[in-house]
Amino acid sequence: MKRPRILIVDDSSVMRKIVERSLRQAGLELGDIVEAGNGIEALAAIREGAFDLILSDINMPAMDGIEFLRQLSTIEGAKGTPVVMVTTEGSESRVVEALSIGAKGYIRKPFTPDQIKERVSPLLEVLR
Amino acid sequence: MNPALDSKVQNVVRPDSSWGSLLQVGAKEVFLIMLQTELANLPKVEELTVTGDVTAMVGLAGALCGVMSIRCDERTAEKIAGRMLGSVGAVDPKDVPDAIAEVCNMVAGNFKSKITQLAEHCMLSVPTVIRGDDYEMVTVSDGDQITVGMAYDASPIWFCLAVHS
C-alpha cells in the first residue's frame, strides 16, 4: 500500500511540529511529511510533487489558507487533493468559506491527536 | 470585504462581568489540551504586578477591537515551548517565541469561541512577540482591560485582554 505524502502548512514551526507529532501518535502509516510556512511556499511544494493530503492553517502572512485553497484549485493535478483546515477560527465565516471552496473539513486549535486522527483517517482510507 | 469585519459597525460587542472567567477557562483549556498541564491559581494575585520578559500579542478586529496578550518570564516560556513540543532536553531558542505566540493565538481563539457574537464576527491577527528584560506594556486606548493571572509550574503567567473603546 502506498504511504500517503502529507503537506503541513502553518506559519508557526512549532505548530507544524505538533501536527506532525499528532499524526504519528495517531498510529497512521505515513510517507513523506513536508512543511510550508504559508500558502506561497505550499503552492511551490505542490508544483514540485503531488501530495495525498494537506493540513493547512487559515490565518497566515504572505498568503492565507483561503487564498491558498483558491489557487490550489487552479493547479492541474492538485485539484482533488483533500485539504483539512487546522485553525483557531472556530465556527465562523472563514471556516465556512474554506469549506465552500473545497476544504474537506477543519480541526480547531487546540486539538488532541485523537481529533486529528478522526478527521484525517477517513481521507487516508480512500487511498488504500 | 470579509464578513467578520463587515459586521463591525452593526454588532459591536462590549465586555461584561463574565469575560474574566471565560478568559481563565479558555486559557486553562488550551494548556490542558496542548500541554497536558493544569494552570493553577496564583496566590495573592491581586497584590502582584504583571511582569515578564516575553509577551505575545494577537490583535482582534470586527465586533471586538483590541489586543489579547500573554506575558511570562523567559524560563516559563522555555518550559511551555518544551512541553508543547514534547522535548526531553533543551529547547531550540527559535521555538520559544513561536510557541508562546501560538499559545496566545489559541487562547484568543478559544476565548472568542465562547462568546457567540465574537465567534462569528471577530478576526484574529497573526501574533507578535516582544522579548526583553525591561519594558512596560501601555494600553493607549481608554477601553476596558481584563487581566487574569495564573501559575504555570509555580511561575506567574498573565493573560490580558485590552479592549479598544
**pLDDT tens-digit profile of B13-68?**
888 889 999 999 999 999 999 999 999 988 877 778 888 999 999 999 888 899 99
Q: Tell me the pLDDT band of B2, cut-offs 50, 70 and 90.
A: low
Q: Do residues A5 and A34 touch, judged by C-beta distance below 8 A?
A: yes
Considering Cα of A7, then A13, then A19, then A22, what sign does the dihedral take?
positive
Work out the pLDDT band at A26, boundaries 50, 70, 90: confident
Residue A32 and residue A126: Cα distance in Å, rounded? 18
| Residues B3/A66, Cβ–Cβ less than 8 Å | no
Is residue A57 within 8 angstroms of chain B, CB to CB?
no
pTM: 0.89
Contact with chain B for residue A21, Cβ under 8 A: yes
pLDDT at B148: 94
Mean of the pLDDT values across residues A66-92?
87
The DSSP bridge pattern shows strands B155-163 and B66-72 to be antiparallel
Tell me, yes or no, if A113 comes closer than 8 A to chain B by beta carbon.
Answer: no
pLDDT band at residue B8 under the 50/70/90 scheme = very low
Q: Tell me: ipTM over 0.90.
A: no
Smallest CA-to-CA distance from B50 within B139, B136, B142, B162 is with: B136
pLDDT of residue B10: 55
Q: Are B110 and B26 in contact (CB under 8 A)?
A: yes
Q: How confident is the model at residue A65, as a pLDDT? A: 93
Contacts of B84 (CB under 8 A, 6+ apart): A14, A18, B34, B35, B99, B102, B103
pLDDT class of A125 with cuts at 50, 70, 90:
confident
Which chain A residues are Cβ-neighbours of B109 within 8 angstroms? 87-90, 108-109
Find chain A residues with C-beta within 8 A of B108's C-beta.
88
**Average pLDDT of the residues in A109-120:** 92
Find the length of chain B. 165
* Dist. CA A104–CA A85, nearest whole Å: 8
B58, A12 Cβ separation under 8 angstroms: no
Please say whether the dihedral angle defined by the alpha carbons of residues A45, A46, A51 and A57, taken in this order, is positive or negative. Answer: positive
Cell numbers representing residue A41 in the block: 511556499
Cα separation of A31 and A88, whole Å?
Answer: 27
Q: Which three cell numbers stand for residue A109?
A: 486549535
Q: Can you give the pLDDT at residue B138?
A: 76
pLDDT at B135 over 90: no
SS3 B94: coil
Does residue A77 come out as left (phi exceeding 0), alpha (psi in the -120 to 50 range) or beta?
left
**Chain A residue with minimal CA distance to B26?**
A110
